[in-house]
Amino acid sequence: MRALDGKVAIITGASSGIGYAAAKLFAQEGARLVLGARSKDRLEALVAEITGANGSATAIAGDVRDEDYAIELVETALGRFGGLDVGFNNAGIIGEMVDVQHMTAEAWQDTLDTNLTGAFFGAKHQIPAMIDRGAGSVIFTSSFVGHAIGFAGMASYSASKAGLVGMTKSLAVEHGRNGIRVNSLLPGGTATPMVGDFSNDPSAGDAIAEFHALKRMAQPREIAQAALFLASEAASFVTGSAMVADGGNSVTKI
């Protein structure tokens, strides 16, 4: 028996990085997947890869800032796979990195709309489908930024990611009685396109690695493994948590 046999999961931000690794891992573990992100081409390539390896997945490109997109993802899970068990609300952006006195209201709002309101839309429409099922797992990708560490120029990102932890606690209490678990996952620095490859400035990569106890960044699959735990029955008594998978950056002072 695999960890997600018989389960149906939505993963947003599946075209890249952590979401991409989670899609492949969840499929290997038996989940039937509805994948979301902005790039149709990348999603279609991922669906082909998963189905080519005997997995089951479909994809819809869209924008998590649009509530109708959240509805469409859930309706696809219900129509195509007959229900929904897991919502991995993972899509996110860093947003414009500037000191607060230079941050426009539009840039602030865009980061909040994508990272926080997008996840709210996801949960809002996933949870009723899970209530029908009598169980479910909602996961938000938060961050070590805004939790363990503050970075200059990242006020909007930090606020959005800390907001997810607050929303997690409310929703866990609101829907525990329905058998639904709600958790935030807080990755440490992870080698994805969001962070870049540091080819122009290897010392910047070294500096990020240094503030982790493990003295390296995570690979996306390592974060996907933590998401798999939260999605699966292995985490059957875990709810309302802000679970770190941060390579020890929250306990490191350099």
**Could you say whether residue 195 binds ligand NAD (CB under 6 A)?**
yes
Give me the 82-121 binding string for ligand NAD, x by CB under 6 A, dash otherwise.
Answer: --------xxxx--------------------x-------
If binding is defined by CB under 6 A, does position 126 make contact with ligand NAD? Answer: no
- Exactly one of 87, 136, 189, 247 binds ligand NAD (CB under 6 A); that residue is 189
The answer to whether residue 55 forms part of the interface with ligand NAD (CB under 6 A) is: no
Burial of 201 (0-12, 13-18, 19+ CB in 10 A): exposed
Which of 76, 111, 126, 141 touches ligand NAD by CB under 6 A?
141
Q: Is 168 in the site for ligand NAD (CB under 6 A)?
A: no
**What residues are annotated to the active site?**
157
CA distance 68 to 124: 11
The one-letter code for the residue type at 88 is: F
Q: Which residue has the tokens 């949960």?
A: 123
- Which of the ranges 12-20, 72-80, 101-109, 232-240 carries the binding residues for ligand NAD, by CB under 6 A? 12-20
Which uninterrupted H or E stretch holds 109? Answer: helix 105-112
CA 162/CA 184 separation, integer angstroms: 10
CB of 195 to ligand NAD, least distance (A): 5
Q: Which is nearer to ligand NAD, 4 or 217 (CB)?
A: 217
Strand partners, 32: 8, 56
Which DSSP letter does residue 190 get?
B
**What strand order describes the sheet that includes 136-141?**
56-61, 32-37, 8-12, 86-89, 136-141, 180-187, 242-245
Q: How far is Cα 250 from Cα 93, in angstroms, rounded to an integer?
A: 21
Q: By CB under 6 A, is residue 165 in contact with ligand NAD?
A: no
Closer by beta carbon to ligand NAD, 14 or else 50: 14
Q: What DSSP state is assigned to residue 178?
A: G
Interface with ligand NAD includes 247 (CB under 6 A)?
A: no
Enter the tokens of residue 246: 């941060």
For the CB of residue 210, give the shortest distance to ligand NAD in the complex, in Å: 14
CB of 251 to ligand NAD, least distance (A): 16
Q: What is the widest separation between alpha-carbon atoms in the chain?
A: 54
CB of 153 to ligand NAD, least distance (A): 15
Give the residues lining the site for ligand NAD (CB under 6 A): 12-19, 37-39, 63-65, 90-93, 114, 141, 143, 187, 189-190, 192-195
